[in-house]
């Protein structure tokens, strides 16, 4: 299964790192920070704390470089929901997106761009 994490900050990285440990999941990440994306691609995504792991994640600042994915998790800040979904919508043409964001209105924005929205 291909999964794309949209917004690979603290929460997005948590999901990406744990999903990246699974053998049957290919993890992609979309984030606008080139410095962050370059570091992930060069060093892997490192999670420390209760778990201390480093996993490979395919990170990109250009969503056109990400293949279609069956599942997405959007962890971007609420004010970035619309631009993030505009950029990544083609990735989820036949997929579903779950949002793990604070704030209101995210579900409606995401639903404008993808066929299925999963509420947590």
With a cut of 80, say whether residue 120 has pLDDT above it. no
What is the predicted pLDDT for the residue at 103? 87
The HSE-up count of residue 11 (CA atoms within 13 Å, CB side) is 12
- Domain span holding position 28: 2-118
**pLDDT interval class at 50 (50, 70, 90):** confident
29 pairs with which residues across the strands? Answer: 5, 59
Say if residues 87 and 30 touch (Cβ distance below 8 Å): yes
Say if residues 56 and 26 touch (Cβ distance below 8 Å): no
The Cα–Cα gap between 108 and 52 comes to 36
What is the predicted pLDDT for the residue at 1? 96
Contacts of 106 (CB under 8 A, 6+ apart): 74, 78, 81, 99
Contacts of 48 (CB under 8 A, 6+ apart): none
Q: How far apart are the first and last CA of the chain?
A: 20
Count CB-CB contacts under 10 A for residue 21. Answer: 12
For residue 70, what are the CA distances in angstroms to 5, 36, 49, 50, 103?
A: 12, 24, 29, 29, 25
**Structural domains counted in the chain:** 1
CATH number for 87: 3.40.50.720
In this predicted model, what pLDDT tens digit does every residue of 86-117 receive, in sequence order?
A: 999 999 999 999 999 988 999 999 999 999 99
pTM equals 0.94
**pLDDT interval class at 59 (50, 70, 90):** very high
In this predicted model, what pLDDT tens digit does every residue of 69-88 receive, in sequence order?
A: 999 999 999 999 999 999 99
What is the predicted pLDDT for the residue at 92? 97
């Amino acid at each position: 299964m291909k999964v794309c994490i949209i917004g690979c900050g603290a929460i997005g990285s948590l999901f990406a790192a744990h999903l990246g440990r699974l053998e049957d999941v290919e993890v992609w990440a979309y984030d606008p920070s080139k410095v962050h994306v370059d570091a992930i691609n060069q060093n892997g995504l490192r999670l420390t704390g209760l778990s201390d792991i480093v996993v490979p994640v395919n990170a990109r600042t250009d969503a056109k470089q990400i293949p279609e994915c069956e599942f997405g998790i959007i962890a971007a800040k609420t004010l970035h929901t619309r631009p993030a979904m505009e950029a990544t919508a083609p990735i989820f043409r036949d997929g579903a997106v779950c949002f793990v964001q604070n704030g209101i209105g995210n579900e409606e924005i995401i639903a404008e761009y993808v066929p299925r929205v999963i509420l947590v």
